[in-house]
Amino acid sequence: METFDELQTIWRMQPNTVKQTTAAALMQKGEASLKQIRRGHFGTIAIITILLVVLIGYFIWVKALKNPNLTIGLSLMIVVMLARVVLEWISKQRFNSISLNLSFNEYRASVQSYYIWRKKVHTVFIPMIYILYTIGFTLLLPAFKANLSYGMYLYCVISGYGFLVVFAFFMVRILKKEMKTLDFLKKLDY
């Protein structure tokens, strides 16, 4: 019996590792998550808007209307980036319209609807935008080759397509993260 008493004493000496989550802690975690999503929308819109300003500035600076490939390529890039800003703005509006005062099931359904929209954005619209942007960039290359040194042209090709590859990698990661959230929400259905 001594061995059992020793085991029981050791068992009681173990620290309690189960943390009790309070309602305040859950609210704080939820608010942090909401802020992160809002910052993500704002950051995406800001970055794409800066890119748009650069593309429009470049269009004006090089007098792209004199070269059909530049006109088509830059116009295509500008239009698809503008479409991307609009999609992100719509996502932001949809997210901000979700009321925090709903019942759990209504709130879950609203958030689930938001993530279904985001899935559509990531699986339908962004691939189309990505392809059209790549076509626009590719249309710029003959003008770059004719007007830049070989080294600068090579830099533009490598960095341009390199950026597109890295961008695709990040978009896949974001999609996976949002789909994981959507799957979690679907499991809450009862």
Query: Looking at the domain assignment, is residue 91 inside a domain?
Result: yes
Sequence-distant (≥ 6) Cβ neighbours of residue 168 within 8 angstroms: 130
Is residue 25 very low, low, confident or very high in pLDDT (cuts 50, 70, 90)?
Answer: confident
Query: Looking at the domain assignment, is residue 5 inside a domain?
Result: no
Query: Looking at the domain assignment, is residue 22 inside a domain?
Result: no
Query: Looking at the domain assignment, is residue 10 inside a domain?
Result: no
Q: What is the pLDDT of residue 26?
A: 66
Cα separation of 63 and 58, whole Å?
Answer: 8
Q: What is the pLDDT of residue 89?
A: 95
Query: Looking at the domain assignment, is residue 9 inside a domain?
Result: no
Higher-confidence position of 119 and 8? 119
Is residue 1 very low, low, confident or very high in pLDDT (cuts 50, 70, 90)?
Answer: low
Q: What is the pLDDT of residue 71?
A: 86
Q: What is the rounded average pLDDT of the residues 103-112?
A: 84
Q: What is the rounded average pLDDT of the residues 127-145?
A: 92
Q: What is the rounded average pLDDT of the residues 152-169?
A: 91
Q: What is the pLDDT of residue 157?
A: 93
Q: What is the rounded average pLDDT of the residues 156-173?
A: 91
Tens of pLDDT, residue by residue over 53-64, are 998 998 888 776
Query: Looking at the domain assignment, is residue 6 inside a domain?
Result: no
Using alpha carbons, list the distances in angstroms from residue 27 to 31, 40, 60, 98, 106: 6, 20, 49, 16, 17
Is residue 125 very low, low, confident or very high in pLDDT (cuts 50, 70, 90)?
Answer: very high
Count of domains for the chain? 1
125, 87 Cβ separation under 8 angstroms: yes
Q: What is the pLDDT of residue 17?
A: 65
Return the closest-CA partner of residue 185 out of 116, 99, 120, 122.
116
Query: Looking at the domain assignment, is residue 63 inside a domain?
Result: yes
Query: Looking at the domain assignment, is residue 2 inside a domain?
Result: no
Instruction: Please tell me the pTM assigned to this model.
Output: 0.76
Q: What is the rounded average pLDDT of the residues 76-84?
A: 94
Tens of pLDDT, residue by residue over 169-179, are 988 898 888 88
Higher-confidence position of 29 and 43? 43
Judged against a pLDDT cut of 70, whether residue 21 lies above it is answered with no
Q: What is the pLDDT of residue 68?
A: 80
User: What is the domain range of residue 89?
Assistant: 40-187
Judged against a pLDDT cut of 80, whether residue 65 lies above it is answered with no
159, 100 Cβ separation under 8 angstroms: no
